[in-house]
Structure 1
Amino acid sequence: MDSGIRGLSALFGSFRYGAVRRACNIGAVVMVAGCATADADTITIAAFGDSLTQGYGLPAQQGFVPQLEEWLRANGADVTVVNAGVSGDTTAGGLSRVDWAITPETDAMILELGANDFLRGIDPAVSRENLDGILSVADEAGLETLLVAIPASTNYGTEFKTQFDGMYVDLAEKYDVPLYPNFMEPLGEGETVAGAAEQYLQSDGLHPTAEGVALIVEGIGPSVLELIEGLE
């Protein structure tokens, strides 16, 4: 994105695609949450986010949620990770659906939202308010929550970036939740989504390949284990 917002047109194409599929994605979330049959000792984690969480462009078992669940189980955690990601979602979209996306069985939440807000140039103050609302719901529900940041580039200026990146830090402190500072950082070469190494990105230049997801999971996995440590 810093070099002309690489792949931006492709992503806005995915917004249209995401709008068409939104109802299907939401329905899938409800079905997965409603049909969970994990035993009482299994920890249920809601992975709540956008296309990066949902697994845009990948076969179902190669997306972020299935790979994370497999990694956590391989590392000794008795967990079920529910895919509550919706392609194209903004923080406003997340706030509008968080009340019903968190089921009574949910023990913890991974909150990954903000990339689409940045790409649309949404005022960081609006994004902050929406994330605040989501975290408030999680807090009232007593959920252990991991807040995942998606740092902005400087395409909208340094002040925008400072405010946008700072909202994650401020909200993590406000709600006393752990902050994972950069979802895409394990892909290397830059702070932002489009700054990731090309070999780990799909043709749109923004969404990770299955190999890229595996690196992301390796990076965030230990933080998720720490999140659920006290729940087991």
Structure 2
Amino acid sequence: MRLSLLPLLLLAGLAAGAAQARPLKVVVLGDSLSAGYNLPPGQGLTRQLEAALRHDGFDVTVGDTAVSGQTSAGGLAGLDWMLGDAPDLVVVELGANDMLRGVDPKSTRANLDKILATLKDRHVSTILAGMKAQPNLGADYVAAFDTIYPDLAKRYAVPFYPFILDGVALDPKLTIADRMHPNGDGVAVMVRGLKPVVAKALTTLKDAAPSGK
């Protein structure tokens, strides 16, 4: 009996080892700021973030799920499809296009709220990356928009990176010709700011489930 059980035990051990070896899946639910708009292959945020995390020793993949032109409504509409790939961690980076189109901040807030609520219900670890409104939209709009992100991060108790373009916005050396989207060097600055937040979340995931998902 012991001999007949040995192959089964070996297979179980191999299966457990394979589960442990699976890279953690990170996806960025984002827009052109994350999608590498007008940049050469490999220079966008997802690729640079993946390379930086791997350099630091994380066994991780970062999916190319950001879409240029994406709004909070579009991100919400595509959320179930994105979750079909069973990500371990989702970075929500949406709202810039809402702001540029003058979408009512109440709508942006409601969409992001539903996204975060869905991720919480599905037990998917989440990071919220914030955006800031342009001053020329008026003080009322700016106040309504800029409070969306810290409010929701607090409500859902998720890690929060306050401004995805921190250190990059309006710097001609770090943006492409439109002065809005980051160039490769600008993306590197974004990654340096965002990476510690992502790394902490990945470490928490590894500590919580050491045997893998």
Band the TM-score falls in, shorter-chain normalisation: 0.7 to 0.9
- Superposition map of 1:36-115 within 5 A: 40-115=21-96
Distance 1:139 1:40, change over 3 A: farther
1:210 aligns with 2:184: yes
Contact 1:48 1:83 in 2 (8 A): no
Contact 2:171 2:179 in 1 (8 A): no
Report the identity percentage: 41
Cα separation, 2, equivalents of 1:160 and 1:150: 13
Structure 2 gaps, min length 5: 1-18, 207-213
Partner of 1:121: 102
Cα separation, 1, equivalents of 2:46 and 2:71: 19
2:42 is paired with a residue whose SS is helix
2:147 is paired with a residue whose SS is helix
Aligned pairs, number: 188
Q: CA deviation at 1:103?
A: 2.5
1:142 aligns with 2:142: no
Cα separation, 2, equivalents of 1:127 and 1:156: 15
Contact 2:29 2:66 in 1 (8 A): yes
Partner of 1:18: none
Cα separation, 1, equivalents of 2:32 and 2:161: 18
Kindly provide the amino acid, as one letter, of the partner of residue 118 in structure 2.
V
Cα separation, 2, equivalents of 1:177 and 1:215: 22
Kindly provide the amino acid, as one letter, of the partner of residue 125 in structure 1.
K
Contact 1:107 1:144 in 2 (8 A): yes
1:162 aligns with 2:129: no
Kindly provide the amino acid, as one letter, of the partner of residue 202 in structure 2.
I
Distance 1:83 1:104, change over 3 A: closer
Structure 1 gaps, min length 5: 1-37, 188-192
1:201 aligns with 2:205: no
The worse-fitting range, judged by mean Cα deviation, of 62-71 and 95-104 is 95-104
Distance 1:65 1:39, change over 3 A: farther
The worse-fitting range, judged by mean Cα deviation, of 147-156 and 118-127 is 147-156
Q: CA deviation at 1:40?
A: 4.7
Q: Which portions of structure 1, spanning 4 or more consecutive aligned residues, are displaced by more than 2 angstroms?
A: 38-41
Cα separation, 2, equivalents of 1:141 and 1:107: 11
- Report the RMSD for the aligned CA atoms in angstroms: 1.4
Kindly provide the amino acid, as one letter, of the partner of residue 71 in structure 2.
T
Query: Which deviations, in whole Å up to 9, do the C-alpha atoms of 1:170-214 show, x marking residues without a partner?
Result: 111111101100111122xxxxx4xx2111110111111111111
Contact 1:46 1:102 in 2 (8 A): no
1:44 is paired with a residue whose SS is strand
TM-score by length of 1: 0.78
Cα separation, 1, equivalents of 2:52 and 2:37: 19
Contact 2:127 2:160 in 1 (8 A): yes
